[in-house]
């Protein structure tokens, strides 16, 4: 419940007029590191970190991470200067995770311009694919392309059980086609 309260509190901050500063793909690593440390809506982390996480109670976790690669890449990029993607991940065994919840978190952490770009984005790829060793899980996802950014939402489902983990990534608009290709080929 604490993470859900965090997301709702963050939304209230946006509605009440406190607009978080922006860190987005395309900005330098240093700009994003500073933004992560100064954004009151993100959990505290190590100074200079590109990943922060909050887990107030067992079975619930919120993680924000920024990367010099696409969210589907596992390669380490050394020496890159710019962030290519940012990712919000929610794990919640108590309340479950929905697409609406992930989008509400996006809206609370970023400004209304990013939310509008997401809302007006066009679906590029919508999929359901088996996951896990025994193919009991499903990845249900969508890739969208807005004027400014691309968005990838994926929720992991287990047959008959409410989804408990989901992620929403923001990528450079120029990377949407590559992201789509990587997802189709996994």
Consecutive 10-residue runs of the chain (186 residues): their mean pLDDT?
46 43 83 91 86 92 93 71 94 93 94 94 94 77 97 88 92 95 90
Predicted TM-score (pTM) of the model is: 0.84
Helix (H, G, I), strand (E, B) or coil at 66: strand
Q: CA of 113: how far to CAs of 8, 76, 83, 165, 166, in Å?
A: 19, 31, 19, 26, 23
Asked if 145 and 122 count as a contact pair (C-beta separation under 8 A), the reply is yes
Domain housing 96: 2-185
> In the chain, how many domains are there?
1
């Amino acid at each position: 419940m604490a993470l859900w309260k965090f997301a709702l509190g963050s939304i209230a901050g946006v509605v009440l007029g406190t607009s978080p500063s922006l860190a987005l793909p395309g900005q330098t690593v240093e700009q994003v590191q500073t933004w992560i440390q100064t954004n009151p809506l993100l959990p505290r982390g190590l100074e200079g970190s590109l990943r922060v996480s909050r887990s107030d109670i067992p079975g619930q976790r919120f993680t924000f991470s920024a990367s010099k690669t696409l969210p589907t890449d596992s390669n380490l990029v050394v020496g890159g200067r710019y962030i290519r993607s940012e990712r919000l991940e929610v794990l919640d065994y108590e309340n479950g995770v929905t697409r609406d919840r992930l989008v509400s978190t996006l809206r609370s952490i970023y400004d209304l311009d990013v939310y509008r770009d997401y809302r007006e984005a066009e679906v590029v790829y919508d999929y359901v694919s088996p996951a896990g060793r025994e193919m009991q899980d499903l990845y249900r996802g969508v890739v969208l392309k807005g004027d400014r950014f691309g968005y990838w939402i994926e929720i992991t489902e287990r047959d008959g059980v409410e989804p408990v983990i989901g992620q929403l990534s923001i990528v450079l608009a120029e990377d949407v086609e590559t992201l789509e290709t990587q997802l189709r080929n996994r």
